[in-house]
Structure 1
Amino acid sequence: MSLGLSSTARADDGPSTAPATAPAATPSGAPAAPPAASPAAAPPAAPPAAAAASADAEPAKKAGPPEGEAPKPPPAPYSLPWGMRPAVLPNVVRLDSNLAFQDKATTIATVLTGGYQVGHGVGVLIRIPYVYNAPQATGQSHSLANPLLGTIYSPKIAKDLRLGLFAGVTLPIGMGGGNDGSALSRQAAGSGIYGRAGLDNALFAVNYMTPTIGVGFGYVAHGLTAQAEATLLQLIRVRGDKFDKDDLRTNSTMGLHVGYAVLPWLLPSVELRYQHWLSTPTAVAANDALRQQLTAAIGVRGTVKLTKGVLFRPGVAYSHPVDDPMAKAGYRTVTLDFPFLFQ
């Protein structure tokens, strides 16, 4: 390998190819003159200092992909769901708010979520719900409802496929709970159930502690996100028996989300959500239309790089009920979502 140093010829590398000069004639009998001393051989030329310095200063080339291999593409962008759990829990602070308009009331159901990765594929989270309710028949009210503590384990089970396992529990400390709680706060908390399409009902059942388990699958590749999940919720009454007659309630939710990155920073998506009571609570026994609820949503999400390690992924979505009871009440819901992801 050449270092930029040229070879320098040595004076004693070999005999000269020029013809030798004949010696001058001397008088007869005179001693011959001694032959002229040949000049001393020149020492080898030292390498040029500038060339050596240039070679020393030449920066090392960055290691690239092996010759003949194309560089790996960046990871496919992930379409963050609207009402479902994420397939992988990032380090996140997220504020999402549902503005639920119906024929006789307006409900704003907001959830603040904090998530942190504690290990490879393992994350912990906390969710804190707040509801503002403004029915036409009564005065405005609000409730800070039940917080949820949970964990997500999401190992990669194939090249582009992840398994999502979830476990969590709500703490029954929401406003309006108990036999002596505020009636308006209890009403506000209850309005958050359909304000969030029935998916987060455990957050708003302020008299119940609710252990929750769930499973999901998420495929992310080539700009496409496809995700499905199912969740089981066991509500256990711990207070407020004067208002909630059921000791136990068993609920379930399911969801399907599909999104596609039309641009690296723009992801439209659609979502289908279903809630179904597996047991028969008192309210469902009185009105079987309350047993289940199906809703659909469509939205778009952007990606803004704020700093080297912080992404802002704002989104807006519209959801509509497919059947009663939300369809009968005229629900139309707009979701505003503001997640900050820390890498």
Structure 2
Amino acid sequence: MKALIIDDVPGIIADTLEQHGAEVETIVMPGVEYLKEHLDGVEVLVMRVIPEIDKELLDAAKDLKLIAVCSVGTAHIDMDYAREKGVAVVNAPGASANAVAELALSKILDLSRKVIAAHHEVAEDRIWEKYHFTGHELKGRSLGLCGYGRIGRRLAEIARVIGMRILAYDPYLTAEQCEQSGAVKLEMDDFLRQADIITIHLPLTPETNNLFSYQEIAKMKDGAIIVNMSRGGVLDETAAAEGLKSGKLGGVGVDVIKAEMADLSGGDTLHSPLFDVGGNYLVSPHIGARTYEAQDAIGVLICEKMTEFFHWQAN
């Protein structure tokens, strides 16, 4: 069996594959053209979220049996065509929930207290002036969780200790289910109007693409903070940039941007409309799951799923 690993994934995955006789090749971020030429003969593809696995790549992978995604989302894979081709897809839901929730909280704190702007003023401009940076405490504020799955619930658990009120928007859960885990379920309009801070924890689908755009931001509280921890595209970055410029939004934090899925191998520069705004804006390069603890958990879970899929006997 031949396995191809195309991202920086936990070492236990390659070890497990090799223990069961697989020939493992690892090449991090090889690009689409490389994959078109080298997927033939590959039975196991191990990846995260780049690149998009479309019909063309699935057709090139004539022997592919399994795609192991070392993250939660699978929107980058043409799941219908994969099923049609008989290719199974496994992922790692829940393994990084705490890591993502903690990063979301750090962004909320930094934006609420204007930490990034304060840092730049001191470190770059050599100005020591605390009166420029009066912020808000989180205690007593309303945290709106858009998507109340594992990550949202873990963040809610932490936020309740701080003393925040927890709101949830999730069309797939009942009010009773949300209430059982400490959140008040609201429909979108009420959710937007009541939340002081909104964090996004949704997959990118046709229904969620640009879910937060001009109309939704206009309904939010003046000075509200929005944090996108899900996928680039759920938050309309142009609308968010305009919200920051106008002062409608008090802060924007993202761990994902739409352009992260772009092929930059031709020398194009990474860009988001938010990059040009300045102000109370905070971006990180999709590091929500990048803790040693989360990576260990992802590796173990993916190995368990590969073992189950191939009916391997435990060594």
Normalised by the length of structure 2, the TM-score is 0.29
Select the structure that is richer in helix: 2
Select the structure that is richer in strand: 1
Name the larger-Rg structure. Answer: 1
Q: Which has the higher contact order (CA 8 A, sep 6+)?
A: 2
Normalised by the length of structure 1, the TM-score is 0.27
